[in-house]
Amino acid sequence: MQPTPEVIADGFVSLASMIGLLLLAGVLRIQRPRPDINRRFLFAIHITAAIMATRLLLWFTGWEAIGRLTYIAASIMPLAALMVVEALLRRHAAVALKAWAAIGAVVFSLIGLFATEGFALPALIALAAFQALTFIALAVLLIRRDRGDVSPTENTMIDSLGLSLVLILPLAITDFRTEMMDLPVRLSGIAVLALCWLALALRRSSAALPGIIAPVAVLVGVLLAAALAISALAQLDARAIVQVMAIVISAGLLAAVYAQTRFITREANQGALLSALANSALDDHETFLRRLLTSAFPSAALVIDTKSLADFDSGFREHFEHQPIVRSGALNQTNTPNVAEQFEWFFRKFESTHAMLVSRTPFQIMAIHIPALAQSEKVEQELKVAQKLAILLAERNGADA
């Protein structure tokens, strides 16, 4: 079966939004500033991703049974959003609103599961109204909150969520395509990607909401201009122009979300060493090294003792007295070719990028592998702190012995 232009456009937007949601979920699992919010946010993310995934299966396989799961997930979505809003506001919503979201989730899920014809037009309209009214109520709840009850950072996060709800409302209507409203593409995925971008931007910046929105607004404007230029070159009709615009904007927003997740993940990896230093008990040299190995460099470092360094001569050992941390690629700093060759062999043998002296007596070296993207001046400074602490602990333990 040849996919129609509508299926291609819908499929691309839905796939892009699903990937964006999974990227955001990965970041939330790494960073846990408030676990209660994260758990609820992850639940909402998984429900939304399930909607996109089941849609894709339905459109590209024609398996009608999977469409029931789509409507079940869509029925639960307002309840999931309510749970996130409650966690952000740190208070319960009105009982009536809770009952509305819960009963609606159950009723529409049962319709999707057991109705002979699935979601007929009246049920679709009712589901759309249920979602719209719930999101409007949540937006009002966010707008009317007491801003003094939460921190400025949380206020910015709540403002972004409220903005996302306002953006999702009109775009979500396009998901309910019928013969009376035959729109060229479903656009809710674009709102989902914008929400992913805002959520990730808030984790990187403490700026006010306008300062966070401005870059994505510029990005969307550039993407719109690019889509219009492509459409003009291809001499597309109005329906195809809308589809091209949706595809280009989704692709650009997904690329921006991916770049944000890469940056946040790299920052998290860089902060692992500092966290290990801050949380280490500075009373035992061996315990301190074990903490570095398990927390700061998991599966990427090992401590090498004198016996394992038998292949290296005294020149290799003496080099650490004036340069306790040696980085691969900086070996031209030594004037002894023999020592440089030994370090090159060391880095190849232990598959590492850094060699760090952690004890003089007994002589111990920590071989560390830090990916190129994670290397920075900040990491080098943290390594210097770790190395000095390791030497101080080794000397103190030796004196105590």
Name the least confident of 63-67, 109-113, 213-217, 238-242. 63-67
- Token reading at 41: 């946010």
pLDDT at 113: 81
What's the predicted TM-score (pTM) here?
0.69
pLDDT at 150 over 70: no
Q: How confident is the model at residue 97 (pLDDT cuts 50, 70, 90)?
A: very high
Q: How confident is the model at residue 89 (pLDDT cuts 50, 70, 90)?
A: confident
pLDDT at 311: 80
pLDDT at 255 over 90: yes
Q: Could you tell me how many residues make up the chain?
A: 401
pLDDT at 54 over 80: yes
Average pLDDT, the chain: 82
In order, the DSSP letters of 116-185 are TTSS-HHHHHHHHHHHHHHHHHHHHHHHTS-GGGS-HHHHHHHHHHHHHHHHHHHHHHTTS--SSS--SS
248 vs 239: CA distance, rounded Å = 15
Percent of the chain topping pLDDT 70: 83
pLDDT at 268: 64
310 vs 308: CA distance, rounded Å = 6
332 vs 214: CA distance, rounded Å = 45
Q: How confident is the model at residue 286 (pLDDT cuts 50, 70, 90)?
A: confident
pLDDT at 131 over 60: yes
pLDDT at 329 over 80: no
pLDDT at 80: 92
pLDDT at 342: 87
Mean pLDDT of 127-149: 84
pLDDT at 278: 62
Mean pLDDT of 278-302: 74
pLDDT at 184 over 70: yes
Name the least confident of 88-97, 202-211, 244-253, 256-265. 202-211
Is the distance from CB of 162 to CB of 136 less than 8 angstroms? no
Q: 365-374: per-residue pLDDT in tens?
A: 999 888 765 6
pLDDT at 257: 93
What is the strand order of the sheet 325-327 is part of?
301-304, 364-368, 354-359, 325-327
pLDDT at 22 over 80: yes
pLDDT at 63: 79
Minimal CA–CA distance to 320: which of 228, 138, 312? 312
Name the least confident of 36-50, 155-169, 228-242. 155-169
pLDDT at 400: 54
Higher pLDDT, 216 or 243: 243
Collapsing DSSP states into helix, strand and coil, what is residue 371? Answer: coil
Mean pLDDT of 174-178: 71
Q: 189-212: per-residue pLDDT in tens?
A: 898 898 888 888 876 655 566 667
268 vs 275: CA distance, rounded Å = 10
